[in-house]
Amino acid sequence: MYLKSLTLKGFKSFASSTTLQLEPGITCIVGPNGSGKSNVVDALAWVMGEQGAKSLRGGKMEDVIFAGTSGRPPLGRAEVQLTIDNSDGALPIDYAEVTISRTMFRNGGSDYAINGNNCRLLDVQELLSDSGIGREMHVIVGQGQLDQILHATPEDRRGFIEEAAGVLKHRKRKEKALRKLDSTDGNLNRLADLLSEIR
């Protein structure tokens, strides 16, 4: 699995439709200060379902929509499309290529689609969670975040690693199963009491 292309339209400084074609391996984006490098990373997080305006370096969610410049009026919506190569089947969907899209209008929430079919945020999150891209987006490490990770407690650091490795989901399921076992144990004890009363 690798990120194949990213298209931004009306997203932050990318007013016109801009597509970045990516190759397997490492991609570097270079450019002068303020040219939009971090906006590309914000677009990646946003299309994968990021819900926090702060994580996207804005005050409110609509700050992701192109706000206009001296020569160009603001736009009414932001759109990002991310195409993932899934020929190794890492994502639990029967397509060799998966395109996730997110669109947001100034006056409303976001619309999501997977391969052109409208879907919920939850569907996008579930599709990505098996690949280690969790809800918390720990796979995206922003400027300054590295310090946060280096200074995290061992427990928090383990949490980051577990989420990125896709272990967190199984830990949550294990906790749920243990709670069920606990309550079943309680029921069995109660049943044993009742049986001994009857006898």
Residues lying near ligand ATP in the complex (CB under 6 A): 12-13, 31, 33-39, 63, 65-67
Q: In this structure, are strands 77-85 and 97-105 parallel, antiparallel, or unpaired?
A: antiparallel
Q: Is 117 helix (H, G, I), strand (E, B) or coil?
A: strand
One DSSP character per residue, 73-113 reads: ---SEEEEEEEEE-TT--SSSS-SEEEEEEEEETTS-EEEE
86 is in an annotated binding site: no
The Cα–Cα gap between 183 and 153 comes to: 33
CB of 137 to ligand ATP, least distance (A): 17
107 is in an annotated binding site: no
38 is in an annotated binding site: yes
CB of 18 to ligand ATP, least distance (A): 13
Token pair 């949490």: residue: 159
Q: Which long-range contacts (CB under 8 A, 24 or more apart) does 69-74 make?
A: 69/15, 72/15
118 is in an annotated binding site: no
- Report the residue number, 65 or 128, with the smaller CB distance to ligand ATP: 65
- Report the residue number, 142 or 166, with the smaller CB distance to ligand ATP: 142
- Report the residue number, 9 or 135, with the smaller CB distance to ligand ATP: 9
Tell me if 20 sits within 8 A of 11, measured CB to CB: no
- Report the residue number, 30 or 198, with the smaller CB distance to ligand ATP: 30
32 is in an annotated binding site: yes
CB of 94 to ligand ATP, least distance (A): 36
Q: Which residues are annotated as a binding site for ATP?
A: 32-39
Would you list which residues are annotated within the binding site?
Answer: 32-39
